C-alpha cells in the first residue's frame, strides 16, 4: 500500500470491486486505485447474504436497462474475468421471475410495468389465469387475474462468485486491496483530500468512492455529508419440500421460477431445496451488527402464503436461515450513483435497497466513466444521481420486492 492514490474506494464487496474492475480495465485510465475493506471474509456483507437474483421486471426503464446489462455480464462473466487459467463460473440459472397479481391495482401495475419492459427489449410476457394454470398446474390460480413471466435474462447465480470475480480481476490489473477500515475523511472546502485508516495510515486521495453498503451514511458523515441510507434487516429461509412442484414453462429448472406471490412472499429453487423470504410487517432501521433472523416470519407469513398458493407447499420444513442487511434508501428505495454536487470528488454508489448485486456491473461501469471522462458514456445514470436527494425528488419504482 502506498500513501497516495488517484482513487480510494471505501468498501470492497460487489459494488466496490466492480468499480475497481471497470476503472482498471479501461485503457483510458492509468491512475492508481486502492480498495479498503475491513472484512476480507465478507461473511456479513450484503453481497454474501443476498438472494443472488437478477430481473428485468422493473417499472422504470433505467432499472430495466441496468439489469439487462447485468444479465449480459453474468452470461459472459467467465471470459471477462478470466485470470490465467481461472475462469469463474457463476452457475447462472435462467429460471425467470414470475409476478402474480390478484387485485385490480396489482393487475394495472403489471400491465404498466410490462409496457416499460417491452419498450426496453426485455423478454417478458403476460399470462392470463388459464395460461398460468397450464404452465404450472400445481398452482392455485382461483384468486389470480394476471401473471408476468420473464422468459430470459432473469434468474439466479453465485453471488460471491460475482464479487470475487471482479475482485480477482481488478487485483490482476494492478488494484491494491487493504484489510483495514476508514475512520476519518479529510476535507478542505469543497474537496475531499484523504482517508485515515484504523491502522493509523493516512492516504491521500484524488477521488473517494463510497461503496460501503449499509454503512454508507457513516462514510458520508466522515466527509461532512448526509445520505438517506440505513441498514434494514431481511431474513431468508431455505426449506425442503416433501413434494417438489413442477411446471411446464420453466424447462431449465423443471420447477417454479422465482415466484412473487401477491402477498409479497417470494420463493425460488435452491438446488434440491427452495429459498424464500417476505417483506417484514415492521421495517425499522436495524443495528449495524444485528444479524439475528426473524424466525417467526416463516410460520406466521411465508408458510401460510405458500401453502395457500400450492398444495405442494403444504409439507415443507426449514433447513437453514440467515439475516442480511439492505442498504436501504429511505427516500425512494433506489440506487444513488454519482458525484456530490458540491464535493465533486466524492462519489456515491449506495442505497441499492436489495438490488445491489444485480446492479453492480452497470454501477461499476457508470462510476468509472464519471471518474475517467467526467460523464456517462454508455448508460446515463443521471436520474439516480445525488441531486434528487438534495431536491427531495423521489425516483419512483413500482416493482420493489
Question: What pLDDT digit, counting tens, does each position of 162-195 carry?
Answer: 999 999 999 999 999 999 999 999 999 999 999 9
- Give CA–CA dist 396/85, Å, rounded: 44
Residue 248: pLDDT band (50, 70, 90) is low
Considering the domain boundaries, does residue 397 fall inside one?
Answer: no
Same domain, 217 and 242: no
Would 85 be classed as within a structural domain? no
Same domain, 320 and 236: yes
Rounded to whole angstroms, the Cα distance separating 220 from 389 reads 13
Phi and psi at 105, nearest 5°, equal -65, -45
* Cα torsion 147, 148, 152, 153: sign: negative
User: Distance between CA atoms of 219 and 12, rounded to whole angstroms?
Assistant: 14
Answer with the one of 327, 346, 366 that is the final residue of a domain.
327
Q: Is residue 291 part of a domain?
A: yes
Count of alpha carbons within 13 angstroms of residue 173, beta-carbon side: 26
Give mean pLDDT, residues 54-60: 96
Q: Is 223 helix (H, G, I), strand (E, B) or coil?
A: coil
Residue 89 lies in a domain: no
- Counting the structural domains of the chain, the total is 2
Cell of 254: 423443471
Q: Inter-axis angle of helices 159-172 and 14-25, to 10 degrees?
A: 40
**C-alpha cell of residue 363:** 454501477
Asked if the structure places residue 11 within a domain, the reply is yes
Task: Let me know if residue 88 belongs to a domain.
Answer: no
C-alpha cell at 21: 474492475
165 in the same domain as 141: no
Same domain, 248 and 319: yes
SS (H, E, C) 40-95: CCCCCCCCCCCCCEECCCCCCHHHHHHHHHHHHHHHCHHHHCCECCECCCCCCECC
Mean pLDDT for 277-300 is 96
- How far apart are alpha carbons 148 and 128 in whole angstroms? 9
Q: What is the four-CA torsion angle of 229, 57, 63, 90, rounded to 10 degrees? A: 80
Structural element, H or E, at residue 218? helix 216-222
Domain edge (last residue) among 272, 304, 327: 327
pLDDT for 341 = 97
Residue 243: the pLDDT is: 86
As beta bridge partners, residue 166 has none
What's the mean pLDDT in 343-361? 96
Residue 253 scores a pLDDT above 50: no
In this structure, the answer to whether residues 180 and 306 fall within a common structural domain is: no
The span from the CA of 178 to the CA of 263, in Å, is 44
The CATH code of the domain that includes 131 is 3.30.9.10
Residue ranges making up the domain that contains 261: 94-150+232-327
Average pLDDT over residues 109-118: 97
Does residue 51 lie within any of the structural domains? Answer: yes
Retrieve residue 115's grid coordinates. Answer: 409496457
Least confident of 148-162, 221-235, 238-252, 291-305: 238-252
pTM: 0.96
Same domain, 319 and 188: no
* CATH code (residue 218): 3.50.50.60
Is 51 found in the same domain as 31? yes
Q: Which residues are CB-neighbours of 229 under 8 A, at least 6 positions away?
A: 214, 216, 217, 327, 328, 329, 330, 336, 350, 351
Mind listing the pLDDT tens digit for each residue in 76-90?
A: 999 999 999 999 999
Query: What are the start-end ranges of the E strands in 139-283?
Result: 146-150, 155-156, 176-179, 182-188, 191-197, 202-210, 229-241, 258-260, 266-270, 273-277
- pLDDT value for 249: 53
Query: What count of other Cβ atoms lies within 10 Å of the Cβ of residue 95?
Result: 23
Whether residues 167 and 316 share a domain: the answer is no
pLDDT given for residue 58 in this prediction = 97
| Contact by Cβ (8 Å): 389, 228 | yes
> Is residue 247 domain-shared with residue 217, that is, in the same domain?
no
pLDDT, position 399: 82
Same-domain pairing of 142 and 236: yes
- Among 288, 308, 327, identify where a domain stops: 327
DSSP 350-364: E--TT-HHHHHHHHH
- Considering the domain architecture, whether residues 351 and 216 belong to the same structural domain is answered as yes
For the chain, the average pLDDT equals: 95
Let me know if residue 79 belongs to a domain: no
Mean pLDDT of 373-390: 97
Verify that 287 and 186 share a domain, yes or no.
no
Buried b (16+ CB within 10 A) or exposed e, 245-262: bebebbeebebbbbbbbb
Amino acid at each position: 500500500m502506498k500513501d497516495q492514490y488517484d482513487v480510494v474506494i471505501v468498501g470492497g464487496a460487489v459494488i466496490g470491486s466492480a468499480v475497481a474492475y471497470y476503472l482498471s480495465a479501461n485503457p483510458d485510465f492509468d491512475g492508481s486505485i486502492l480498495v479498503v475493506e475491513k472484512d476480507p471474509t465478507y461473511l456479513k456483507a450484503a453481497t454474501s447474504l443476498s438472494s443472488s437474483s437478477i430481473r428485468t421486471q422493473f417499472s422504470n426503464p433505467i432499472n430495466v436497462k441496468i439489469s439487462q446489462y447485468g444479465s449480459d455480464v453474468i452470461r459472459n462473466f467467465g471470459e471477462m474475468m478470466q485470470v490465467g487459467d481461472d475462469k469463474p463460473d457463476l452457475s447462472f440459472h435462467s429460471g425467470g421471475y414470475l409476478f402474480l397479481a390478484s387485485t385490480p391495482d396489482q393487475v394495472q401495475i403489471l400491465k404498466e410495468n410490462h409496457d416499460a419492459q417491452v419498450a426496453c427489449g426485455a423478454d417478458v410476457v403476460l399470462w392470463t389465469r388459464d395460461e398460468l394454470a397450464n404452465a404450472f398446474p400445481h398452482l392455485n390460480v382461483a384468486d389470480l387475474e394476471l401473471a408476468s413471466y420473464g422468459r430470459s435474462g432473469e434468474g439466479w447465480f453465485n453471488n460471491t462468485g460475482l464479487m470475487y470475480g471482479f475482485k480477482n480481476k481488478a487485483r490482476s490489473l494492478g488494484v491494491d486491496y487493504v484489510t483495514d477500515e476508514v475512520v476519518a475523511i479529510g476535507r478542505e472546502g469543497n474537496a475531499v483530500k484523504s482517508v485515515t485508516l484504523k491502522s493509523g495510515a493516512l492516504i491521500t486521495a484524488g477521488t473517494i468512492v463510497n461503496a460501503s453498503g449499509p454503512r454508507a451514511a457513516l462514510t458520508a458523515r466522515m466527509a461532512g455529508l448526509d445520505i438517506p441510507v440505513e441498514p434494514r434487516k431481511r431474513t431468508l429461509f431455505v426449506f425442503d419440500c416433501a413434494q417438489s412442484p413442477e411446471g411446464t414453462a420453466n424447462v431449465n429448472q423443471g420447477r417454479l421460477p422465482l415466484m412473487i406471490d401477491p402477498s409479497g412472499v417470494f420463493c425460488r429453487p435452491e438446488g434440491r431445496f427452495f429459498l424464500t423470504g417476505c417483506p417484514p410487517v415492521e421495517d425499522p432501521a436495524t443495528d449495524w451488527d444485528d444479524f439475528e433472523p426473524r424466525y417467526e416470519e416463516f410460520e406466521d407469513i411465508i408458510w401460510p402464503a405458500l401453502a395457500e398458493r400450492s398444495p405442494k407447499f403444504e409439507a415443507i420444513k426449514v433447513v437453514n436461515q440467515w439475516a442480511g442487511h439492505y442498504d436501504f434508501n429511505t427516500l425512494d428505495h433506489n440506487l444513488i450513483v454519482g458525484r456530490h454536487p458540491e464535493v465533486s470528488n466524492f462519489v456515491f454508489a449506495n442505497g441499492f435497497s436489495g438490488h445491489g448485486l444485480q446492479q453492480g456491473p452497470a454501477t461499476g461501469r457508470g462510476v468509472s466513466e464519471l471518474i475517467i471522462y467526467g460523464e456517462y458514456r454508455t448508460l446515463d445514470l443521471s436520474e439516480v444521481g445525488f441531486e434528487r436527494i438534495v431536491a427531495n425528488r423521489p425516483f419512483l419504482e413500482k416493482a420493489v420486492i
